[in-house]
Structure 1
Amino acid sequence: MIAQLKIGSDTLKRFQSLIALLILCTILSFMTDKFFTADNGLNVLRQIAVNICIATGMTLIVLTAGIDLSVGSVLALCGAVTVGLLRNGVEIPAGDLFVGFTLLGAILGGLLCGWLLGWFNGFAITKFNVPPFVATLAMLTIARGFTMLYTKGHPISNLGKEFAFIGSGSFLGIPVPVWIAAIVVLLAVFITQKTKMGRYIYAIGGNEQAAKLSGININRVKITVYSFAGALAALGGIIVTARLDSAQPNAGMSYELDAIAAVVIGGTSLSGGKGSVWGTVMGAVIIGVLNNGLVLLNVSPFWQQVVKGGVILLAVIIDKAGERRD
């Protein structure tokens, strides 16, 4: 009997995100007839694509028992850098040179910027023993300041149809951002489930001291994870900028909240070592559906923040309760 109850409890825990999503969709379908429509479904998919990219990187960090509060600011800075390279290139006065960028070159430049910012987070955390919360909080401010300096506080607009296609185009009837998010998820799943790096990530989050004694290079793994997360935040910034056809200096505000919410709701433990990318995808869908439903119901944006904060708190309480039972 006890064994059967434990099996039932484990099964419920495994599918709790899916059950929560089904309940949420059922409630919203009764409260508004605009929810279950094809257009709204595509709109939700387009909106959650960015959060999936960011939250996937956040998942890898949380699995190592870390956190990254800078993803929203990194998103804004890298989006601005990408369109700045695309529109204005780089001038080198000393050599009287001008370097222009193609669309692909500008995108790679933006991703490299995100990778470097993430690398700096990982370097500060591993080499100077700065707590992840403090290091990434500092980067949140630094990156936002650099965004304001780079854009001079003004949007960079009129970016062209090719660039806009990344954020607002469709392929085979599915929004391009959804395709991009799907590739990111599959890559992250492959890393976590099929590579040594994935095993190292789980080992560090489960017991860092034991992982160190087993010969794992803790610092290298953490720096790689934070760098990867920075690149994914940059990718999210490129998508957002393309969708808006404008690099906004204040883009990405509170995006770290949605990313952390997706990770926690998806079942990844904030203590590290437990969780999955697929769970985070489900968490991002729940957050996206919740945001969409609140908008359709004309709920005040201020109350939306209250609701999301409450959902995060509830998810953490459930996570901690599960850890005590284990």
Structure 2
Amino acid sequence: MLLRRARELALVPALLLLLLLGALVNDSFLTERNLISVLGSSAALAMVVLAESLVLITGKFDLSLESVVGIAPALGALLVLPVAQAGFGTEWPAALALLSILATGAVLGAFNGVLVVKFKLNAFIVTLAMLIVLRGLLVGATEGKTLFGLPESFYTLATSTFIGIPMSVWVAAGAFGAAGLMLKYHRWGRALYAIGGNPEAARAAGIRVERVMLGVFVAAGVLAALGGLMQTGYVGAINANQGQNMIFTVFAAAVIGGISLDGGKGTMFGALTGVLLLGVVQNLLTLAQVPSFWIQAIYGGIILVALMIARVTTGRAQD
């Protein structure tokens, strides 16, 4: 128990060490502007990590979340844009288009959940197929173009601030806080851990396993769609590659944050520190002008190290 707890808290001194290293490497690293930039650029990732963490705790996977990050806001944009700007020409009100983004995430999450929970299909294969399908739909719907000229409300989460910090950061922090309290104190949260630990025992204890797991997939889809909206506001546009390869970073953040790939273990605090750690690492590498492909290689190395640490701290083999 102490080893597992230490695994989650180990990222805190690691973060402090990276902050110290960054201050030594680059004078602008610890400036208020740069630190806020790190938080702002990590907000969308944080929402997807939160979504994936909830699914992982139940012992399942959802690889399609990176495609939801792209397709959900793109659909909202296409519904609100005129034909002249590559939209569908429906020109929906911005508020309705924003609701459609969250609805798209919920529908896609429900579809994944039905295939995995009701039809008993392998979650890894199902969501991998959905990742590919949704990526193709995104490219086809946008015709490979970048969507500009969106209503200001599409950018609000990233551009509006409260005490100098983007609203997207506050929303992500609030979502992690709410999820952490739910997992620790609410019966639904305890049910997630029980299902991830032993679904048959959870079912015998009276937990409606199928209903809870379906709800997790829906919630994950909504969170990923919201993360996609944050990403849209941060970038200022939507392109056909939005969210591509994001799932690797998501898994890296979740795993190094202590979320078990075997299910039933992990906390939101650990997942959040994983997000912050990768955000700081990426910022450091960017300031050092390290090419992006090396950043991906470093993320892969971080995952491998985290898996080895998990093997030691849990004391059991990983399937």
> Does the alignment reach a TM-score above 0.5?
yes
Task: State the partner residue of 2:234.
Answer: 243
Alignment match, 2:86? none
**C-alpha distance in 2 between matches for 1:196 and 1:78:** 30
Report the secondary structure of 2:315's partner residue.
helix
After the TM superposition, which residues 165-314 of structure 1 pair with which residues of structure 2 at under 5 Å, given as runs? 165-314=156-305
Q: Is the 8 A contact 1:53 1:235 kept in 2?
A: yes
Q: Secondary structure at the match of 2:231?
A: helix
The residue type paired with residue 53 of structure 2 is T
Larger Rg: 1
TM-score, normalised to structure 2, is 0.92
Distance 1:224 1:168, change over 3 A: same
Structure 1 residues 17-69: Cα deviation after superposition (integer angstroms, max 9, x where no partner): 11221122222222222211111101000011111111111111010111111
Choose from 24, 39, 44 the match for 1:30. Answer: 24
How far off is 1:170 after superposition? Answer: 1.6
Indicate if the aligned counterparts of 2:4 and 2:314 stay in contact, CA closer than 8 A: no
Match of 2:146 among 155, 170, 190: 155
TM-score (norm 1): 0.90
Instruction: Work out the CA distance in 2 between the residues paired with 1:325 and 1:77.
Output: 38
5 Å-filtered alignment, 1:94-173, equals: 101-173=92-164
Deviations for 1:95-126, whole angstroms, at most 9, x for unmatched residues? xxx96533222111100101111111111111
Bigger drift between 260-269 and 187-196 goes to 187-196
The aligned counterpart of 1:39 is 33
Residue 250 of structure 1 aligns to a residue whose secondary structure is coil
Q: Is the 8 A contact 1:82 1:238 kept in 2?
A: no
Q: Separation in 1 of the partners of 2:17 and 2:101? A: 39
Moved over 4 A (4+): none
Separation of aligned partners in 2, 1:227 and 1:130: 17
CA offsets per residue over residues 180-200 of structure 1, 9 Å max, x none? 212221232233123221111
Amino acid of the structure 2 residue aligned with 1:62: L
Distance between the aligned counterparts of 1:252 and 1:14, measured in 2?
27
1:315 paired with 2:286, answer no
Q: Structure 2: how far apart are the matches of 1:175 and 1:237?
A: 15
Alignment partners' CA distance in 1, 2:123 and 2:109: 12
> Aligned with 1:247: secondary structure?
coil
Identity %: 35
Please give the root-mean-square deviation of Cα atoms over the aligned residues, in Å: 1.9
User: Deviation string for 1:204-234 (max 9, x for gaps)?
Assistant: 0111121122222221111110111111110
| Aligned-partner Cα distance in 1 for 2:91–2:127 | 32
Structure 2 distance, partners of 1:265, 1:11, is 13
**Contact 2:81-2:90 within 8 A present in 1 as well:** no
Counterpart CA distance in 2 for 1:122 and 1:162 is 30
Partner of 1:93: none
Aligned residues: 312
* Alpha carbons 2:8, 2:257 under 8 Å: kept: no
What stretches of structure 1 of length at least 5 have no aligned partner? Answer: 1-5, 90-97
- How big is the shift at 1:171? 2.2
Query: Residues of 1 paired with 2:256 and 2:225: CA distance?
Result: 23
The separation in 1 between residues aligned to 2:74 and 2:249, in whole angstroms, is 21
Cα distance in 1 between the residues matched to 2:90 and 2:4:
57
